[in-house]
Amino acid sequence: MCLTITFIFCLIAARLIYVQLCWSNELKLRATDQWNREIPIIAARGNILDRNGVVLAGNQSTFSVFLRPNAVKNAEYTATVLGGIFNVDANEILNKIRGGKISEITVARQTSKQAVEKLVSYGLDGVYYARDNSRNYSYDDALCQVLGFTASDGSGIAGVEKFYDNVLSGKNGEISYTTDIVGIETENPTVIYSEASAGDSIKLTVDIDIQLAAEEAMKSVYVSSQAKAVSCVVLNPQNFDILSLVNYPSYDLNDVPRDDTDRLNALTRNSVISDIYEPGSTFKVITAAANIEEYLLGNTNAFSNSYIFNSSRTRTVDGTKIKCWSNHENGKHTNQTLSMALNNSCNPCFTDIALSLGSQTFYKYLQNFGFGNVTGIDFNGEALGMLVPQTAVRDCDLARIGFGQTVAVTGIQLACAVASAVNGGNYYVPRLLKSIVSADGKSVAENKPVLKNKVISDEASHILAEMLEGVVKEGSGTHAYIEGYRVGGKTGTAQKYEDGHVAQGKYVSSFTGFFPANDPQYLALVIVDEPQGTYYGSTVAAPVAKQIFEDIIRIKNIQPFV
């Protein structure tokens, strides 16, 4: 018996020691919480700026309204007033007040100053308000799939708003005051004010003037071609800064269609980064780059520009016939060099190159150019693309990859690959963030360019860029030619596949171009998905790139190079 009593006494003593020494701080906090109530002070979210400091996303002062049921004196009257002012269900509020299980109810978020002034005029007990912020986007639908938007609580849920939410979000403060045990404010409450800390702003690499010009050009071709969708990316080939990124159709960031989930998901998808497609002839830039570099390295399987490709318009590989888009009678297959093959976009010539280089060598370049992998752009949801594993690739696959079939890429992958092919061979990590700026305007951090790898030599890059300038001067890209400016580029027209079969009458028309050809500063990739009527990249996409380049020339007051 004595042992039992002693054991129980030891247990009680141990519990007492634990409560006094180990649990005391938590119990103090619980007690303090029972005798105090807090009103949150929402931190200002950081702005999103373009590269020149123009505000793309900012804040409007709005208010959140809260209700503490225990402090309400007239439940029915309070519920009726709140329902009328904030357009909420009065009966639902009344049930929550009478339910006794909820200590605090959020009545409204991001409501107007006028609504709060009307609320104050009623002098309702148990109702409080605090300032919060609602997001305001300066250019409505421009850059919408890049910027993204925020939730009702101010947190980022799409685009750079989400990716850089930890930077943009500040630290909320609060006003704490003493209450009695049921939550009613005491007669002379002790008030403690904890200040909120604003979030940092981010400065993007985007140039809003170029963005608006590109938006206008893409909307125009969307209408004129009756396309399913259009997209475009403009970047600086010298460091892979994203200067513009357009997806259309778009939506108004100040009127997000939150009630239609399917529509919202479709409109907010950044297809340049998240969707893959078969690039077609724009991919020939990469095949040509690999061939030129291997020729300069002394690989006897590579072709010089003086080499004359077989003039036949067809090749048969593993029983599969590969043919060129043009008819033999038009003379485009006679005595073709590599430059001419690029000008004429001749599939058999690039089949010859891919097969001659072989899978081991060709795949080395494909991987160095980033295909089958993410670029590392600072944005959620980047797709890998699709590349047949080298161990499984057949000759017929390799042949088709050479001219942009049997491979799928994202727009950002192809734009970066072409940029590195013509900028001297330097592949950078593409970036949307230029720098982080504090609330008081001071620079917090610079996001400097990161060189990923060297894909080809300066000499090979220079030769290729010169050839691609020829494509625009006298080849399939003449619709992108600008008098007095050295523009290079490559067209692409690819059939679409559905359920493993060619979808009749469905094409992706594209053009990737850059200028000046001898020192590229601007590169654009234009993609037109399922244009109706005329569908060749040379006639659908190339003129759009020309329009964008002409707008850049005007915006930046770039003088003729020649």
pLDDT band at 239 (very low <50, low <70, confident <90, very high): very high
Q: What angle in degrees, to the nearest 10, is found between the helix axes of 347-368 and 284-296?
A: 80
Q: DSSP assignment, residue 156?
A: B
Of 180, 204, 228, the residue that ends a domain is 204
Handedness of CA 64, 69, 73, 74 (dihedral sign): positive
* Mean pLDDT for the stretch of residues 276-291: 97
Of 154, 184, 204, the residue that ends a domain is 204
Enzyme catalytic residues: 281
Burial of 318 (0-12, 13-18, 19+ CB in 10 A): exposed
| Together in a domain, 216 and 166 | no
Among 66-70, 373-377, 488-492, name the one with the lowest average pLDDT: 66-70
**Residue 334 backbone zone (phi > 0: left; psi -120 to 50: alpha; other: beta):** beta
Contact between 280 and 404 (Cβ < 8 Å): yes
State phi, psi for 248 to the nearest 5 degrees. Answer: -140, 135
* Mean pLDDT for the stretch of residues 140-167: 94
- What's the Rg (C-alpha) of the chain? 31
Instruction: Please state, rounded to an integer, the average pLDDT across all residues of the chain.
Output: 89
Question: How far, CA to CA in Å, does 552 sit from each of 224, 370, 466?
Answer: 22, 28, 22
pLDDT band at 365 (very low <50, low <70, confident <90, very high): very high
| Together in a domain, 321 and 237 | yes
* Mean pLDDT for the stretch of residues 309-321: 86
For residue 222, give the 3-state DSSP assignment: helix
Say what the alpha-carbon torsion angle 299, 304, 310, 311 is, to the nearest 10 degrees: 160
Pairing of strands 48-49, 201-204: parallel
Q: What pLDDT score does 193 carry?
A: 60
Q: What pLDDT score does 320 carry?
A: 85
| Together in a domain, 148 and 280 | no
Q: What pLDDT score does 324 carry?
A: 82
Q: What is the DSSP string of 488-557?
A: EEEEEEEEEEETTEEEEEEEEEEEEEEESTTS--EEEEEEEES-SS---HHHHTHHHHHHHHHHHHHHTT
Q: What pLDDT score does 164 carry?
A: 98
What is the token pair recorded at 254?
Answer: 């100040």
Give the CATH number of the domain where residue 42 resides.
3.90.1310.10
Residue 386 CA to residue 277 CA, distance in Å, equals 9
Q: What pLDDT score does 188 carry?
A: 58
Q: How far apart are the first and last CA of the chain?
A: 108
Quote the domain boundaries for residue 144: 34-67+79-86+105-122+130-172+199-204
140 lies in some domain:
yes
Taking Cα atoms as reference points, which of 278, 280, 242, 274 lies closest to residue 384? Answer: 274
* Mean pLDDT for the stretch of residues 297-316: 90
Check pLDDT > 70 for residue 179.
no
Residue 533 CA to residue 224 CA, distance in Å, equals 10
Q: What pLDDT score does 333 carry?
A: 52
Q: What pLDDT score does 5 carry?
A: 67
Q: Choose between 195 and 434: higher pLDDT.
A: 434
What is the token pair recorded at 246?
Answer: 């357009």
Name the domain count of the chain. Answer: 2
For residue 36, give the 3-state DSSP assignment: strand
**pTM summary value:** 0.86
Check pLDDT > 90 for residue 553.
yes
Taking Cα atoms as reference points, which of 156, 168, 173 lies closest to residue 199? Answer: 168
181 lies in some domain:
no
User: Which residues, at least 6 apart from 282, have a Cβ–Cβ distance to it below 8 Å?
Assistant: 404, 414, 418, 490, 491, 492, 510, 511, 512, 525, 537
Q: DSSP assignment, residue 54?
A: -
Residue 535 CA to residue 524 CA, distance in Å, equals 19
Pairing of strands 276-277, 407-410: antiparallel
The one-letter code for the residue type at 301 is N
Say what the alpha-carbon torsion angle 176, 177, 182, 188 is, to the nearest 10 degrees: 180
14 lies in some domain:
no
Q: What pLDDT score does 27 carry?
A: 45
User: Which residues, at least 6 apart from 126, have a Cβ–Cβ distance to it below 8 Å?
Assistant: 67, 68, 69, 70, 71, 72, 73, 78
| Together in a domain, 259 and 341 | yes
| Together in a domain, 471 and 381 | yes
Q: What pLDDT score does 443 carry?
A: 86
User: Which residues, at least 6 apart from 488, have a Cβ–Cβ distance to it below 8 Å?
Assistant: 422, 465, 466, 468, 469, 471, 472, 513, 514, 515, 517, 520
The one-letter code for the residue type at 25 is N
Helices (H), 302-410: 338-344, 347-368, 395-402
| Together in a domain, 234 and 329 | yes
| Together in a domain, 249 and 347 | yes
Check pLDDT > 80 for residue 42.
no
Q: Choose between 562 and 107: higher pLDDT.
A: 107
| Together in a domain, 417 and 473 | yes
Check pLDDT > 60 for residue 328.
no
Taking Cα atoms as reference points, which of 504, 496, 502 lies closest to residue 529? Answer: 496
pLDDT in tens, 385-405: 999 999 999 999 999 999 999
pLDDT band at 30 (very low <50, low <70, confident <90, very high): very low
Check pLDDT > 60 for residue 32.
no
319 lies in some domain:
yes
Residue 346 CA to residue 336 CA, distance in Å, equals 9
Check pLDDT > 70 for residue 35.
no
| Together in a domain, 320 and 462 | yes
Residue 473 CA to residue 558 CA, distance in Å, equals 20
* Mean pLDDT for the stretch of residues 308-312: 84
331 lies in some domain:
yes
| Together in a domain, 469 and 545 | yes
Check pLDDT > 80 for residue 219.
yes
Among 94-103, 183-192, 419-428, name the one with the lowest average pLDDT: 183-192
Contact between 282 and 414 (Cβ < 8 Å): yes
8 lies in some domain:
no
| Together in a domain, 545 and 398 | yes
How many CB atoms are closer than 10 A to CB 518? 14
Contact between 526 and 511 (Cβ < 8 Å): yes
184 lies in some domain:
no
Check pLDDT > 90 for residue 475.
yes
99 lies in some domain:
no
| Together in a domain, 212 and 166 | no
Give the CATH number of the domain where residue 248 resides.
3.40.710.10
